[in-house]
Amino acid sequence: MAELSQNRGKRRDGEVLGGAVDFLLANARLVLGVGGAAVLGIATLAVKRLIDRATSSRDEDDVKGDATCLEDSWKELSLLKATPHLQPRPPPAALSQPTPLPAPSPSTPAGPAGADAPGAPRLSSPAPPCLTFQEKLLAFEQDHVTIPVAHVALAKQLAGDVALELQAYLRSKFPALPFGAVVPGGPLFDGLQAGAADPVRLLVPLALEPGLWSLVLGTDTVARDPRCWAVRRTQLEFRPRGSSPWDRFLVGGYLSSRVLLELLRKALTASVNWPAIGSLLGCLIRPRVASEELLLEVQHERLELTVAVLLAVTGAQAGDRLLLAWPLEGLAGNLWLQDLYPAEAARLRALDAGDTGTRRRLLLLLCGVCRGHSVLWRLGRSHLTQVVLRLGEEEADWAEEALGERFLQALELLIGSLEQASLPCHFNPCVNLLDGLREEEVEDLGYALYCGLQAPEGLLWGGVGHERW
């Protein structure tokens, strides 16, 4: 008896819920239309089924109904997909414009108006041409790597003007320190500028006295760093300490690059009147205070430029090497970093001149691709230069037609180097350029390059941005 009254109560509840559903759907059809009412009906039916399951006891019919629940759900999903969607209205401006009629084909005879030729095939718009990877690579070079000649000339002019102003300031601020002529250089002046992110180099050479200084290889110092050299003060018994203006920067008998860096950093950030110099040159100049390097940001109305001020020991006193005061860490903090960029650029230029090759173009392409990638940006110019130098001396065909193949070979070589965690410097094999990367960074680089090798077009157009002038 109790079960019978319970079933009657459920039936009464179902009738009330069904009436509510019917009322809701009837009014929804007026407001939402047929398509919206269908969607609302499906959702309401699903809610009703959940309420029925929660309030009903599991008898034999319910167990059988659960077996077909998944099938009903797929039917409702198919009904939802089949519901017609309302097409958006065109904007008023589009309605007021006449729709152009397609011009008749000259090979098809004109027929009566409104009559279609029986069996005449419809002409579809031509499919876009399928470009090869070589063609896509050249298009990327043209759009994202090649810098207009006018911008290069303007950048060189700005760099030369800033160099002259900096030289005049150093001679007036530090008259006792014999600085040499400030010389602009770097990729911009070697045809290897890959974009605005490549800094223009202003070399500030130190005029060291002959016979008072000697070089010590970094591996022979406590730092054991093959990248660096120490500049040691000599002849102290004949020329005591204090007889050279550079003796005030000695640390433990060696000329400290760190002390000189701090001196010049304070001067560039606090003493130089950059607003006045910028107004004189027609641009805005600001030192980048947060950087460990000595960087200047030059903003012109036509381009932006980054200038790196580099203290250097050059000439015969450096054994024809270029030693830079670089912000090194640990025991190498007072040493001087040997810069191999001039030798690498000269070697690439000589190789290209021998066979009218495209090695430098390949380097610019690799720099442009990696700089705009969310992972590959960790591969700097020095890493990519070693790869191009190695390929440049191994491969014989460096015509433009082989540029795409050489690009893929460079990716393969980089992957192999990352697998071995070894990328030796071309002019100093004792230096492994991958030592500065963590293990997880090496794995991320290898994975990104492997994916790029499978679909190289994604490397060209899938980066986060490619900045150029």
- Residue 307: per-residue pLDDT: 96
Between helix 403-420 and helix 133-140 the angle, nearest 10°, is 90
- Residue 195: per-residue pLDDT: 75
- Residue 20: per-residue pLDDT: 57
pTM given for the model: 0.72
pLDDT-derived band at 13, boundaries 50, 70, 90:
low
Q: Quick: pLDDT tens for 14-36.
A: 555 556 555 555 554 454 554 45
* Cβ density class 267-300: b for 16+ within 10 Å, e for less: bbeeebebeebbeebebebebbeeeeebbbbbeb
Structure tokens at 82: 């089949």
Structure tokens at 270: 């606090």
Q: What are phi and psi of 98, to 5 degrees?
A: -70, 145
Q: How many residues are listed for the chain in this entry?
A: 469
Q: Quick: pLDDT tens for 187-206.
A: 999 999 987 778 999 999 99
- Residue 268: per-residue pLDDT: 94
Q: Quick: pLDDT tens for 62-104.
A: 444 444 443 444 334 334 434 443 344 444 343 334 444 444 4
**Integer Cα distance of 230 and 255 in angstroms:** 7
**Integer Cα distance of 390 and 420 in angstroms:** 16
Q: Quick: pLDDT tens for 346-398.
A: 999 999 999 999 999 999 999 999 998 999 999 999 999 999 999 999 998 99
- Residue 83: per-residue pLDDT: 41
**Integer Cα distance of 256 and 333 in angstroms:** 8
* Domains, the chain, ordered by start: 147-339 (3.30.460.90), 356-461 (1.10.1410.40)
- Residue 196: per-residue pLDDT: 73
- Residue 194: per-residue pLDDT: 80
* Cβ density class 199-218: b for 16+ within 10 Å, e for less: bbbbbbbbebeeebbebeeb
Q: What are phi and psi of 111, to 5 degrees?
A: -115, -175
**Mean of pLDDT values over 180-185:** 95
Which of 107-111, 206-210, 250-254, 272-276 comes out lowest in average pLDDT?
107-111
Task: List, as one string, the DSSP characters of 202-228.
Answer: EEEEB-PPTTSEEEEEGGGSTT--TTE
- Residue 192: per-residue pLDDT: 94
Amino acid at 24: L
Q: Which of 53-57, 107-111, 126-130, 164-168 has the highest average model confidence (pLDDT)?
A: 164-168
**Mean of pLDDT values over 273-288:** 96
**Mean of pLDDT values over 264-277:** 95
pLDDT at 172 over 50: yes
- Residue 25: per-residue pLDDT: 52
User: Looking at residue 107, what DSSP letter applies?
Assistant: T
Could you tell me which residue, 302 or 96, shows the higher pLDDT?
302
- Residue 22: per-residue pLDDT: 58
pLDDT-derived band at 319, boundaries 50, 70, 90:
confident
Looking at the chain, the whole-number percentage of residues with pLDDT higher than 70 is 71
- Residue 40: per-residue pLDDT: 57
Q: Quick: pLDDT tens for 403-451.
A: 999 999 999 999 999 999 999 999 999 999 999 899 999 999 999 999 9
Task: List, as one string, the DSSP characters of 156-198.
Answer: HHHHHHHHHHHHHHHHHH-TTS-B---EEESHHHHT---STTS
